[in-house]
Amino acid sequence: MNIRVDKLIFNNRNFTLSVERLEFESGRLAAIVGPNGAGKTTLLKCLAAIHPLSRNTVFFGRQDLAGLRLAERARLISYVPQEHSPIFSYTVRDFVLTGRAAHLPLFSLPSARDEAAAQEALEFVGLEPFADRPYSQLSSGERRLVLIARALAQKSQVLFLDEPTTFLDPKHEWQVLEFVSKLAGQKGLTVLITLHNMDMAVKYSDSLVFLKEGKVIAAGRPDDILTESLLQDVYDLPMKIVACDGRKLIVR
């Protein structure tokens, strides 16, 4: 099911985000890019209803996201934050298990089915051997994978990831993005990510959204919209697009 955005406006003291219209195809990976302060995280949080959402702005299929109850919404959408600072040393397995919260009524304990979902998620991201280790003992990259696993355990149809590759070394960056694209491809989830790294965005995404100062400058498939003048407009820096091994690379 598609995600459709219709006249989304978000105001806080210093910043206004204003999106006329956006659409995200189901089963595809979309990357939101732009300079710092463009509003990428804000847009993601609005779409995930982390920021309060007005009615009739974000639609999931034909459902108005704002009209859903929290637990219902969480069964549809997972949100993976940039980081999680561990205060209590839960095991990786227990951590991932918390992703099942939307499926459990208030006073219930996770059942065998919930444990199975967590197990499945752990196996998908390849962290099963780490399942009984404390979360705090994992490396940055591994922690990101755990956060993704938690989102997977939620068994939602949409996945939002905020800057999933920041602070990761190239290998881990690649690893995470491979997983993320697998999620769209193999599992058919609708995935939205925000990214700083333009090359990765171009390589992995099915569609791109360029944000600058709270406005959508361009949106569409990379092949269609990626031009040097667009890049200059968005980043205020002259860039060149270079073809290499069948891929497009951005050079400053």
Residues contributing to the site for another protein (CB under 8 A): 48, 50, 70-75, 77-79, 81, 84, 87-91, 94, 97-99, 101-102, 104, 106-110, 132, 134, 136-137, 154
Q: Which class for 146: exposed (0-12), middle (13-18), buried (19 or more C-beta within 10 A)?
A: buried
List strand residue ranges (DSSP E) for 56-168, in order: 58-60, 63-64, 77-80, 158-161
Query: What minimum distance in Å lies between the beta carbon of 98 and another protein?
Result: 5
Instruction: Supply the minimum distance, in Å, between the C-beta of residue 50 and another protein.
Output: 6
Contact 57, 139 (CB under 8 A): no
Amino acid at residue number 185: G
Name the residue nearer to another protein (CB basis): 164 or 198. Answer: 164
Of 136 and 227, nearer to another protein (C-beta) is: 136
Q: Which two tokens stand for residue 139?
A: 């490396």
d(CA 180, CA 109): 29
Comparison of 152 and 202: residue with beta carbon closer to another protein: 152
CB of 23 to another protein, least distance (A): 22
The distance of closest approach from Cβ of residue 236 to another protein in the complex, given in angstroms and rounded to an integer, is: 31
Nearer to another protein, 50 or 249 (CB): 50
What number of residues does the chain have? 252
Query: Could you tell me the CA-to-CA distances from 214 to 12, 29, 38, 63, 153 in Å, in that order?
Result: 11, 21, 5, 25, 32
**For another protein, which is the closer residue by CB, 9 or 70?**
70
Minimum CB distance to another protein, residue 221 (Å): 29
